């Protein structure tokens, strides 16, 4: 592995807790739920009628040409917003004589333009094929967020999308890290976006019995590690970071938030949607991230868990954490799930959750898992129940796992 070090110099986020990184982080620290009854469509036909929506979002404010925003699926709008905020935060775009052929983008989506597909297919179903938009394909495809963002900012470096369901953001950020490590770019804009709170999304996940139906109490519906959990709650949004090679960042006087030191990826090779019961696949991803970073398990202060609030998933992840961290699980490791507040942002989840890790390091605060009222005895770890903890955080790890058995872990540490 190359000795090139990779640091994070910018963050951007749009989530059910806020329209930027700081407001999202404030909501996490406060233990505030972003879950409510769905408002942008009639949810009454569906078993799950609640979600973490991004409300009052003005996409046109983030595009150079407002017309381009109107020609973009909602997931692309959210992606461009978060990516632009991350780039602005980093200050990279303002650098004179920046070699933009050395700056790339991997801003991905687990599902892609589901809203566009639904709308245009409805026209076909009503035999109105002639009215199908010529933008159907470019609006729908899962790689177009990276494409659009590269056009907005003239980024000529490596450009792609990685689709691994709910592990999408972590794989995108991890592979961007790998590209910089191997010298194929000096900076990468990476993360994920999702906008699937739609009839197809609600019906599809609902048919799998994956969603919570605690419709009468939405703020308490997403409850990872709690014995009374009954499924996940969908969220939407985007989370994006700017990664830079260390010397490149130092040469321009960038503000370094933290170092991305490790990345691990593995497969369960077990089932379409269920996790491997013994947790061996996720454990390998975590162990790989630790190994790449040269960090011992006992040095990790905080772990942002994938923990979605499903019966099988939370228990399998706890087993994986115990395999990877051993006695440290009982001796100081803090583990929380911010999905208890944002809902499950699917392909965007990892980007928002890496934000939580970065801000935990910056502020010395571990965000809580809210709604832990009756902790499942099979989830016997310190899940930071209900209230944030102030403590020094020097090393943090973020987990994301996806349907298909995809596992991805990212390790960040205080930059020194």
Q: Say which of 89, 306, 379, 406 is annotated catalytic.
A: 306
What is each CA distance from 364 to 118, 356, 396, in whole angstroms? 44, 11, 11
**CA 164 distance to own-chain centroid:** 12
Q: Does the annotation count 200 as an active-site position?
A: no
User: Residue 385 phi/psi, 5° resolution?
Assistant: -65, 120
Handedness of CA 284, 339, 366, 379 (dihedral sign): negative
What's the rounded Cα separation, in Å, for the pair 318 and 303? 11
Q: Is 121 exposed, middle or buried (0-12, 13-18, 19+ CB in 10 A)?
A: middle
Q: For residue 212, which of 351, 52, 25, 42 has the smallest C-alpha distance?
A: 52
The SS3 of residue 36 is: strand
Q: Does the annotation count 357 as an active-site position?
A: no
Decide if 369 contacts 307 (C-beta within 8 A). Answer: yes
Q: Say which of 166, 357, 379, 383 is annotated catalytic.
A: 166
User: Residue 344 phi/psi, 5° resolution?
Assistant: -95, 110
User: Residue 61 phi/psi, 5° resolution?
Assistant: -70, -15
Q: Is 14 exposed, middle or buried (0-12, 13-18, 19+ CB in 10 A)?
A: buried
How many other CB atoms sit within 10 Å of the CB of residue 101? 12
Which tokens hold the place of 383? Answer: 């899940």
Q: Does the annotation count 344 as an active-site position?
A: yes
Q: For residue 363, which of 355, 374, 351 has the smallest C-alpha distance?
A: 355
Residues 6+ apart with CB under 8 A from 24: 13, 14, 15, 17, 18, 342, 352, 355
Buried b or exposed e, range 305-332, using 16+ CB within 10 angstroms? bbbbbbeebbbbbbbbbbbbbeebbeee
Q: Say which of 344, 357, 379, 406 is annotated catalytic.
A: 344
Decide if 191 contacts 348 (C-beta within 8 A). Answer: yes
Q: Which residues are designated catalytic? A: 166, 306, 344
């Amino acid at each position: 592995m190359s000795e090139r070090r990779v640091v994070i110099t910018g963050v951007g986020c749009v989530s059910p807790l806020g329209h930027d990184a700081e407001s999202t982080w404030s909501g996490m620290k406060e233990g505030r739920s972003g879950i409510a009854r769905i408002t942008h469509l009639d949810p009454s036909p569906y078993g799950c009628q609640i979600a973490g929506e991004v409300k009052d979002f003005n996409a046109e404010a983030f595009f150079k040409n407002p017309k381009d925003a109107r020609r973009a699926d909602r997931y692309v709008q959210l992606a461009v917003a978060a990516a632009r905020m991350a780039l602005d935060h980093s200050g990279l775009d303002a650098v004179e004589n920046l070699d933009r052929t050395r700056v790339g983008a991997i801003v991905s989506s687990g599902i892609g333009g589901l809203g566009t597909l639904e709308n245009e297919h409805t026209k076909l179903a009503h035999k109105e094929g002639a009215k199908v938009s010529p933008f159907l394909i470019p609006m729908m495809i899962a790689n177009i967020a990276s494409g659009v963002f590269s056009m907005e900012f003239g980024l000529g470096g490596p450009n792609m999308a990685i689709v691994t369901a709910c592990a999408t953001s972590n794989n995108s950020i991890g592979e961007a890290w790998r590209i910089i490590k191997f010298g194929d770019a000096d900076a990468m804009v990476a993360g994920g976006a999702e906008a699937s709170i739609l009839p197809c999304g609600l019906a599809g996940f609902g048919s799998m019995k994956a969603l919570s139906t605690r419709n009468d109490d939405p703020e308490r519906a997403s409850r990872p590690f709690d014995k009374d959990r009954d499924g996940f709650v969908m969220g939407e949004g985007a989370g994006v970071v700017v990664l830079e090679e260390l010397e490149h960042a130092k040469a321009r006087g960038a503000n370094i938030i933290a170092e991305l030191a490790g990345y691990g990826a593995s497969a369960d090779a077990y089932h379409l949607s269920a996790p491997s019961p013994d947790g061996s696949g996720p454990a390998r991803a975590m162990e790989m991230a630790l190994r790449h970073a040269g960090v011992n398990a006992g040095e990790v202060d905080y772990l942002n868990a994938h923990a979605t609030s499903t019966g099988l998933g939370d228990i399998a992840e706890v087993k994986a954490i115990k395999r990877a961290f051993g006695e440290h699980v009982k001796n100081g490791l803090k583990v929380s799930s911010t999905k208890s507040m944002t809902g499950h942002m699917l392909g965007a989840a990892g980007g928002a959750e890496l934000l939580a890790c970065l801000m935990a390091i910056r502020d010395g605060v571990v965000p809580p898992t809210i709604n832990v009222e009756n902790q499942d005895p099979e989830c016997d770890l310190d899940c930071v129940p209900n209230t944030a903890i102030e403590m020094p955080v020097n090393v943090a790890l973020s987990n994301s796992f996806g349907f298909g058995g995809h596992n991805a872990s990212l390790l960040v540490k205080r930059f020194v």
